Amino acid sequence: MSEQMLQASITPSKKFVVVCPDCNQTKHFPLEDLSPSTPNPFPYECSCGKSYQVMLNFRKSVRKKVNLFGTFILIADPKNIPRTCNVLDISSTGMRLGTDLIKTLQKGDELNVAVILDDKRRTKLEIRAAVRQIIPDKARLILGIVYVSVTPFQKQILGFYLL
């Protein structure tokens, strides 16, 4: 049986927190306590006796796991066909989408994405993005997209949503 992987995000103050999913105990670590040769992920044993692998996340922005319905249109597609997608996570700089196989899709392609957020107002976020990563996943694709241009209003929507 393999050890469970835990994610730990590095804060701007160069610290990270590990939360044991079994006993909910938290342990705070300064990043400087790790030696430069520490592997990522590294082994961690909680005081409750459970062992895990901890993956340090050096992202500059918070990535929120979600399960939202969305649509997107490939800008280069002359037919402008809206395609459905499942938003898997969202951050202030991009999203990860699950969608059907699209044979013509390539890295760098631009999309117009529309998502209904699960906030109280059910805010509709429409944003232009570019495909940064394409990962085949069984009968679908996982797309890593990065926002191309973000208006102040879109930044505000994302800011409130990610709090």
Q: What per-residue confidence (pLDDT) applies to 1?
A: 44
Q: What per-residue confidence (pLDDT) applies to 56?
A: 83
In tens digits, the chain (163 residues) has pLDDT values of: 456 788 787 776 788 888 888 898 888 888 888 888 888 888 889 999 999 988 887 666 677 899 999 999 999 988 999 999 999 999 989 999 999 998 889 999 999 999 999 999 999 999 999 999 999 988 899 999 999 989 999 999 998 898 7
The full set of domain ranges for the chain reads 4-57, 63-162
pTM equals 0.65
Q: What per-residue confidence (pLDDT) applies to 148?
A: 95
Q: What per-residue confidence (pLDDT) applies to 61?
A: 65
* Tokens at 84, concatenated: 């459905």
Q: What per-residue confidence (pLDDT) applies to 2?
A: 53
- The residue ranges of DSSP E strands in the chain, in sequence order, are 4-9, 15-19, 26-30, 42-45, 51-57, 63-74, 83-91, 94-100, 110-116, 124-137, 140-149
Chain-centroid distance of CA 125 in Å reads 16
The architecture (CATH level 2) of 63-162 comes to: Beta Barrel (2.40)
